[in-house]
Amino acid sequence: MKAHYATGLKQRGATIIYVVLAIIILSASAGVLFFKIKQPPQVAQEMKMSTVAPLAVADLPEVTVYKSATCGCCSKWVTHLENEGFKVVAHNREDMNTVKQDAGLQPQLASCHTAFVDGYVIEGHVPASDIKRLLTEKPTILGLTAPGMPQKSPGMQPEGMAPQGYDVLAFDKAGETHVFNRY
């Protein structure tokens, strides 16, 4: 009788272990499916790594920047681009609103300086690494913007510090945006 009772306990114990393992596996599988299915398309796009080789410094096109003569952070952003290998031609302008309107920028996307590179508009304190990615991937957008003046962006903080706490947005001619990079 003891042997029969012990065998029954072992079988019940094994069954419980199998049931617990099955629950764990099913929960993990459901979690993976949930996060994969529920992930917004723009997040999936942000996380996708480029398979195109990055541009060499010698291949970087010239960047034309329009800025106010008195804007110190604009000059620091120009220096940031130069330190990253870009040749930059800067023009001081009094009529920055006209430059922005001519570039097709919506007011909510504006910052302090406007640049042009290889047919794209670059508005504000966009890191050079994002511009290089843009030039490598060549998406069908009008440009990139870091609206306003993010405090921890190139030109707004000491050179060499990592950007943080803001998004770089891609935008089209209609002013529609999506996150290009998140810091």
Query: Same structural domain for residues 63 and 16?
Result: no
Q: Are residues 22 and 65 in the same domain?
A: no
Please classify residue 152 by burial: count the beta carbons closer than 10 Å to its beta carbon, then call 0-12 exposed, 13-18 middle and 19+ buried: middle
Task: Determine if the pTM surpasses 0.95.
Answer: no
Per residue in 115-132, pLDDT (tens digit) is 999 999 999 999 999 999
Q: How many domains does the chain have?
A: 2
User: Are 112 and 143 within one domain?
Assistant: yes
Residue with tokens 């609206």: 147
User: 7-16, 61-70, 108-117: which range is least confident on average?
Assistant: 7-16
